[in-house]
Each structure stands twice: as structure tokens, then as C-alpha cells.
Amino acid sequence: MKRAISILTAAALSAAAAAASANAECVVPSKPGGAMDLTCKLAQKALPDAKLKLAYLPGGIGAVAWHTLVSQRRAEPDTLVAFSGGSLLNLAEGKFGKALAADVRWVAALGVDYGMIAVRSDAPWHSLDELMDAIRKNPQQVLIGVSGTIGSQDWMKVALLARHAGIEPRRLRFVALEGGGETFTAMSANYVQVISGDASEAVLYAGPGKVRVLAVLAEKRLAGVLASVPTAREQGYDIVWPVIRGVWMGPGVPDADYRRWVDAFARVQATPDFAALRTQAGLYPFSLTGDALTRWVKQAINDYNRQAREFSLVREH
């Protein structure tokens, strides 16, 4: 029987207390219900004594939150903002304007997620091959819901699968939505028939009579609710799409406050209680903080930029 997570270890409590503030806030740069929401809720549970409040600031696939914090709230010492690999891809493609990774302070990576492809439970497709065959025959009849627009990470996942199947990605019909929660709502209403999203979101929504997950874009099958779902690789599509999840702060945050949060997350992530919370959130181990995370983010953006150039999504220099 699994032990209930009700009391954090002494180290975790110490970390939470160190980060505590009456005005502590975690900004979700999307509408409620998606993976960004999940990221802030994980931070909230990991540091309960920090009393993190959640605030939603959707718009521009994260651009509104980014520019608001960088220009208007740049020095708030207790405001965190959720980010994902999709945020880094948007930076790499210039979707946040002239924004650079160095414009903010990267605090902590809380875990890694993986991409997935899902359809309605009553859809006629039970594998990636069946779905790709339907798209190949009539791409206009298969509406694909994605968070963001052309070039977003959800778009990239399907584009890579389509290219692997010999389908020109620009023939696909996408519907741009704001956040994972909205994509599942749209599919429930049959506004779209396919979702390109993340495994952690699927864990929240998948189940009998709800949605059918056709593939996870991971190196191997995932544990838990999605254990029976084959990887894309198993189905002949050598596509893996990991999605880092974490939090950053404004560029003007004083060093002492920035280090206070970095240290708090570093300590709590070393505890078994956090590992259990991360699993409950549908995430897998990936823990970096402070300077190490900042270096990783810089390299990731360079890698995303190269991939985006393959699809002519950014200009060659």
C-alpha cells in the first residue's frame, strides 16, 4: 500500500520555511488545467510553508507572462513563473520577440514530461499508422488541436511524425488553442479529433470513455496510467520529445532572494517526498537549479533553434 504524502521531511520543511513569504506567487502562463498549471501546483505542494498562490496570466503562448514579468514586475522577490520545453522552443523561434534566455533568472527544473498523441475514445484510429493513413488520404478532415501556433512544440511533435510518414507537415490542419486544458476541452466537444500534447496532461484526462492515447514520445513506455500505451518508436516512428518543466523569476530579483528560492528547491528535490509528488504529477526525474539550469537552458535553446531551421521556422543567419 502506497504511503500517503502528508508530512514532508525535515529538510523539505526547512526549505519551505526558507522560501516563505506572504506574497509568494507562482504564475501560470496559460489557462487553468494544462501542464503549466500542473507545474505551479507541484511547486506549491513541494514547498507548502512557502504558501505559494497561483495566478493565471495566459496569452501569446506564454509571451504575455514573459513580457509582463520582464518589463513590469522584474524585481518581485517571491514571484515564480512556470515554463516548459515549449517556452524554450518559443524563445528559439523568436516568438517572444527579441526576448533572450538571459532576460530572466532560471530557478529550478522540477521534472521532465514527454509528448503524446491522443484521439477521442470513439475515434476510428487505434495506432499512429492508422492516424497517419487517414491524414494522408484527407488531411482536411482531421483537425489537430495544439497549444500554440505553427512552430509550437505541439505542432513540432506532429510535424516530425508526419515527416517520418512521408507527409508534408504544412498539409496538416491545425487548430491553435491556449494550453493543454483547452485542447482536451476542444476534443471533448469534437471541435478537434486529435490532440498533440503531453503525457502529464493525458494522465489527468485519459480513462475509459474519455480519450485514447495512441503513442507517447518517450524512449520507453511510461509507468502508471499510461503503461499500456506504446511509444512512437515501437510503432516505427523514431521520435522522442522530452518536455522539461520548471520555474523562473524576473531579471531584477535581488541575488539573495534568487538564491533563497534556488536553495529551497535544491533541498526539497533531494527528498523522497518530492520524488513521490513528482510521480503523482506524471513527471519523471530531472532536477537542475540555478547556474546549472541556466547553462542547460542556453544549450537547449540552441538545439531547438537548429531543429526549427529544419522546418524553415526561423531565418538562417
Q: Give the mean pLDDT of the chain.
A: 90
The rounded Cα 29 to chain-centroid distance in angstroms is 11
Q: Which whole-number Å values give the CA distances from 156 to 103, 128, 145, 163, 202, in the listed order?
A: 25, 16, 12, 10, 18
CA distance 236 to 56: 39
pTM of the model: 0.80
Cα 54 to Cα 128: distance, rounded to the nearest angstrom: 37
What tens digit of pLDDT does each residue of 79-119 get? Answer: 999 999 989 999 999 989 899 999 999 999 999 999 999 99
Is 114-235 in the same CATH topology as 10-111+242-310? yes
Residue 179 has pLDDT above 80, yes or no: no
Dihedral Cα 209, 211, 215, 216, nearest 10 deg: -110
Tell me the CATH number for domain 10-111+242-310.
3.40.190.150
Integer angstrom CA distances of residue 269 from 10, 18, 36, 190, 281: 13, 14, 19, 40, 14
Answer whether residue 191 shows pLDDT above 50: yes
pLDDT band at 64 (very low <50, low <70, confident <90, very high): very high
For residues 184 and 102, the answer to whether their CB atoms sit within 8 Å is no
Task: Give the CATH number of domain 114-235.
Answer: 3.40.190.10
Which residue reads 495566459 in cell numbers?
A: 58
Q: What are the extents of the domains in the chain? A: 10-111+242-310, 114-235
What are 80's three cell numbers?
Answer: 515564480
Query: What is the Cα 3 distance to its own chain's centre?
Result: 28
Q: Give the pLDDT mean for 250-263.
A: 98
